[in-house]
Structure 1
C-alpha cells in the first residue's frame, strides 16, 4: 500500500509544471522603485546595492545574469575583467544630481548651515563619486565635505534625509521622485565630461533566459516606467 502511494506521488510530482530558473539581476540601488515595476511578473530575482560592490562581486564569480550599473566606470571594470558580454551592453538611462532636504530651505541657507549632508561613498559609490566631482566644479566641496555622511548606496543616503537623521543629502533626481518625504533644494548642473549614465549588460555567465529579460528592460513599456520615475535617456 505504501509503495503504491509512493509511486502515485512520484507521478503527481512529475506532472507538475517546472518553473524556469529565475534570472538574477544585480542592479544599482537607485533603480529599485522603477526596476521593481518594470520587472513585475518576470521570472527574476534582483539584488540591489552600490554599483562598485556589485561589480566586484560579479568579477569574483557571483551568480548574476544581468548587471545594471549606475555608472560607466564600474561597467567598464567588469567588461575589462571579462565578466560581462560586451556585445550586449547598452547605455540605457541617464540621471541628474539634486540636493534634497528633510525640510524645504533655500540653497544658500543650506550652504551656510552646519547641517550634515549624506551621499554615497565618494571613493566608490557612483552617487558619491558624482557628488564630489560636481561640488568641486561648483566650488562648494570645501564647504560641504567636512559635513559629509557617506553611505553604501544612494538609497541609504536618501533614507537618512527622509527620516530626518541628517538635514540634507546629495542624491539622484530619480531618488527625489521616489521619496515624498524630502524636498529638492537645488539641482546640480550636468557636467558634459561626466554624464550620469546607467549601462546594462549580460554577465559572462548569463543563462539562456537572460537575453529575453534584458530585452524587456529596454522595451517601450520599460522606458515609459523609467521616465515616470525621473530617469532620462542618454
Structure 2
C-alpha cells in the first residue's frame, strides 16, 4: 500500500495555493519529453560495422535510439513483406528491393542508392601478394584439396553476384561442385577467416576490414551487375525522427563515413 506523506512545510500552505502548486506540477509532468520509439533499420549484413558507425555519429547530436538488424537482404525482405516493424530497409541487391516493392512493403518513391561495393576473390592471411589472374587453371590448382567459399547464391546477394561473375567469365563449371556456402556474406567471411577454405568470393569491404583475410584479385565490374546498396522507407513510416535519420543517410557526411570502411561513393 502506498502512503502519501505531506511535508510539514506544505501543511501550512493555504488550500488554493496548494491546488495551484499541484496544477503546475501536473503540467510540468505532462510537458516532460517522452522518449521516442527506437528507429529500426533492416540492413544487409555486409553493412555491419560501417552503418553502426554512421548511426553512432548521428546519435551524438540527436537524442534518438537507432537499432539495426543485420541479415541477408533476402531474409530481411521476406520479414518486411510479412509485416516486420522496420522503419528503413537497406538491400545489397536490387532484386530484393523489387520484391518488397511488389509486396507493397516499402515506399517506392523514397528509394535511393546509399553506396556501392566491389566483388573480390579473397584468401586467409595478410595482404602483400600481387593480384593474380582469374582463370580455370588457377581455381583447379587451388581447389584440389579445398572449397571455394560463397554466400548462398540461391538468394544471398553476394553469392548471386559471385555466381553471375563466374558464369560470365566461363568459370562456374570449374567451381560449382567445390563450394562451401554461408547463410550470408559475413558467415562466408567467417569460414575463410577460420581457414576452413583456401579461397572465397566476398565484398571488398568485408576483406579490407578483416585483418585475417586478404584480397587476391578483383572481379571486373563488367562481369556482374552493379553492387549497389539501395535504401528505402518501409510502408507507412512517416515519423519525424525516422525521416530525419533517413535524410541523414543521404548526406555527404554519411557517405564519407561509409567510405572509410571501403565502400565506394555514389
Partner of 1:8 in structure 2? Answer: none
The answer on whether the counterparts of 1:94 and 1:197 sit within 8 Å (CA) in structure 2 is yes
Residue by residue, what CA displacement relative to the aligned partner does 1:115-145 show, whole Å, maximum 9, x if unpaired? 2111111110000000000011112111121
Partner of 2:54 in structure 1? Answer: 38
Residue 156 (structure 2) aligned to one of 102, 121, 125: 125
The answer on whether the counterparts of 1:63 and 1:205 sit within 8 Å (CA) in structure 2 is no
Give, in angstroms, the shift of residue 14 of structure 1: 6.9
Paired residues for 1:86-105 under 5 Å: 86-103=108-125
In 2, the alpha carbon distance for the partners of 1:24 and 1:92 equals 17
SS in 2 for 1:211: helix
How many matched pairs? 231
Residue 177 (structure 1) aligned to one of 188, 203, 208: 208
Give, in angstroms, the shift of residue 162 of structure 1: 1.1
Shifted more, 149-158 versus 101-110: the winner is 101-110
Segments of structure 1 that go 5 or more residues without pairing to the other structure are 6-10
Residue 91 (structure 2) aligned to one of 65, 69, 80: 69
Give TM-score, length-normalised by structure 1: 0.90
Give TM-score, length-normalised by structure 2: 0.80
Q: Based on CA coordinates, which of the two structures has the bigger radius of gyration? A: 2
Residue 144 (structure 1) aligned to one of 158, 163, 175: 175
**1:168–1:192: structure 2 CA closer, same or farther, 3 Å change rule?**
closer
Residue by residue, what CA displacement relative to the aligned partner does 1:155-201 show, whole Å, maximum 9, x if unpaired? 11111111212222110011111111101111111127711111000
CA RMSD of aligned residues (A): 2.4
In 2, the alpha carbon distance for the partners of 1:178 and 1:224 equals 16
Paired residues for 1:157-176 under 5 Å: 157-176=188-207
Segments of structure 2 that go 5 or more residues without pairing to the other structure are 6-25
In 1, the alpha carbon distance for the partners of 2:192 and 2:75 equals 23
Paired residues for 1:206-225 under 5 Å: 206-208=237-239, 209-225=241-257
The answer on whether the counterparts of 1:68 and 1:200 sit within 8 Å (CA) in structure 2 is yes
SS in 1 for 2:3: helix
Give, in angstroms, the shift of residue 205 of structure 1: 3.3
The answer on whether the counterparts of 1:23 and 1:207 sit within 8 Å (CA) in structure 2 is no
